[in-house]
Amino acid sequence: MPSFPEYEIIVITGDVKGAGTDANVFITLYGVNGDSGKRPLRQKFRNLFERGQTDRFVVEMLDLGELLRIKVEHDNSSPSSGWFLECVEVTNTANSVTTIFMCGKWLDVKKADGHIQRVLYPRH
């Protein structure tokens, strides 16, 4: 049986008014070896994605190789769904390679361009 590497995903919510979200957040990682599929980012008993907060998730998935892009989205499921995503850091714990994806944008149907998903590319 092949072992699946763990990816540590760190999500930083911006420190601006109304930045936090109570919606369900999902991430898809795209690498040279394929993609992770849409994965929910959740933790029991923790209020995630609040203003100025850093949230950490560990997700097992196939080794995707070098990461090309990620897609972050939410389902707009709560009255305060709008979210200001600062950045996402993804570390492949098997080789300790960290890739940083800057966002600095709203995922909000009522703000900016109205999108609730963002495709982000690595910062080089």
Q: Is residue 102 part of a domain?
A: yes
Q: Is residue 47 part of a domain?
A: yes
Characterize 88-113 residue by residue with b for buried, 16 or more Cβ atoms within 10 angstroms of its Cβ, and e for exposed. bbbbbeeeeeebebebebbbbeeeee
Token pair recorded at residue 19: 């930045």
* Digit-coded pLDDT (tens) for 3-20: 688 999 999 999 999 999
pTM: 0.94
Rounded Cα distance, 72 and 106, in Å: 11
Contact 46, 39 (CB under 8 A): no
Other Cβ atoms within 10 Å of 42 Cβ, number: 12
pLDDT tens, residue by residue, 55-91: 999 999 989 999 999 999 999 999 999 999 999 999 9
Classify residue 70: in a domain, yes or no: yes
**Residue length, the chain?**
124
| Contact call for residues 57 and 12 (beta carbons, < 8 A) | no
Number of domains in the chain: 1
Which structural domain, as residue segments, surrounds residue 115?
Answer: 6-120
Q: Quick check: is 66 in a domain? A: yes
CATH number at residue 83: 2.60.60.20
Does the residue 55 lie in any domain? yes
In a domain, 109, yes or no: yes
